[in-house]
């Protein structure tokens, strides 16, 4: 009896923010068959809590604008933590289960915060943390203020994949741009592995690709 070889269905973890946006725009411009991503599943790193469904700055809407529509994706293949559940802890567990059911993340795209956060894992996050509710620091809220009318409109909490969840991805891709990220990139890649700089967990992963511009990498020289 002939054995039928199955083709793995890729799973991509997607970040939002200014650093990964150029990558998504490049993917949208490339010539490729229209069904390129037909078998691909996508998992967002995080989502704000407290924004109404359909809010333009919710990450589900950001991803709709940046990848779903430009890449002609089936919206049902793009997963975001559910911030509207009456039981957010259960929502976090369900998200972990969905990632596991999909076979785990093959490529996790990452940005980095000015304070070294990955996803919304703020300094002090446990290195083996899982998807959970997290309170955003004042620094992170201030950094995201530009997307809202005022600081008071920036959510104070989110659902985020944990550092332990991120480490289980098979390949990590970190993108960073601008002088404002230089110290965080330096500390993440050359400093001690510490919860004080969540992105330092990159040093623990066997397959990491780092793409930074000259300014973001200026302190690595």
pLDDT of residue 114: 92
* Residue 204: inside a domain: yes
**Mean pLDDT of the region 189-198:** 96
Q: Are 105 and 68 in contact (CB under 8 A)?
A: no
Asked, for residue 133, whether it belongs to a domain, the answer is yes
34 versus 173: the higher-pLDDT residue is 173
Q: What CATH number corresponds to the domain at position 125?
A: 3.40.50.1360
Q: What is the pLDDT of residues 92-135, one digit of tens each?
A: 999 999 999 999 999 999 999 999 999 999 999 999 999 999 99
**Integer Cα distance of 221 and 217 in angstroms:** 7
Would you say 16 and 110 are in contact if contact means Cβ atoms under 8 Å apart? no
Q: Into how many domains does the chain fold?
A: 1
Average pLDDT, the chain: 94
Statement: residue 32 has pLDDT above 80: no
DSSP class per residue in 54-111: T-TTSHHHHHIIIIITTTT--GGGEE---TT-S-HHHHHHHHHHHHHHTT--SEEEE-
The answer to whether position 115 is within a domain reads yes
pLDDT digits (tens, 9 = 90+) for 135-173: 999 999 999 999 999 999 999 999 999 999 999 999 999
Single pTM value for the model:
0.93
Confirm whether 2 is domain-assigned: no
Domain coverage including residue 142: 11-220
Per-residue pLDDT for 6 more than 60?
no
pLDDT for position 5: 52
Q: How confident is the model at residue 57 (pLDDT cuts 50, 70, 90)?
A: very high
CA distance 189 to 134: 24
Partnered with residue 197 across adjacent β-strands are: 194
Cα-to-chain-centroid distance, residue 184: 16
111 in a structural domain: yes
With respect to residue 183, please indicate whether it lies within any of the assigned structural domains: yes
Q: Is residue 25 part of a domain?
A: yes
79 in any annotated domain: yes
């Amino acid at each position: 009896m002939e054995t039928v070889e199955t083709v793995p269905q890729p799973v991509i973890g997607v970040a939002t923010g200014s650093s990964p946006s150029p990558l998504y725009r490049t993917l949208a411009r490339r010539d490729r068959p229209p069904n390129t991503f037909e078998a691909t599943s996508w998992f967002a790193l995080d989502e704000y809590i407290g924004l109404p469904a359909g809010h333009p700055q919710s990450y589900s809407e950001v991803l709709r604008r940046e990848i779903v529509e430009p890449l002609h994706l089936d919206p049902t293949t793009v997963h975001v933590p559910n911030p509207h559940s009456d039981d957010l802890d259960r929502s976090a567990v369900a998200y972990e289960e969905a990632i596991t059911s999909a076979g785990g993340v093959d490529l996790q795209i990452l940005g980095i915060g000015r304070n070294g956060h990955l996803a919304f894992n703020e300094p002090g996050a446990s290195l083996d943390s899982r998807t959970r509710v997290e309170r955003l620091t004042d620094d992170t809220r201030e950094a995201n203020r530009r997307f809202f009318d005022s600081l008071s409109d920036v959510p104070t909490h989110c659902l985020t994949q944990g550092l332990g969840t991120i480490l289980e991805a098979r390949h990590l891709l970190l993108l960073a741009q601008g002088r404002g990220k230089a110290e965080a990139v330096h500390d993440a890649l050359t400093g001690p592995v510490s919860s004080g700089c969540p992105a330092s967990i990159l040093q623990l992963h066997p397959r990491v690709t780092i793409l930074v511009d000259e300014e973001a990498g200026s302190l690595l020289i």
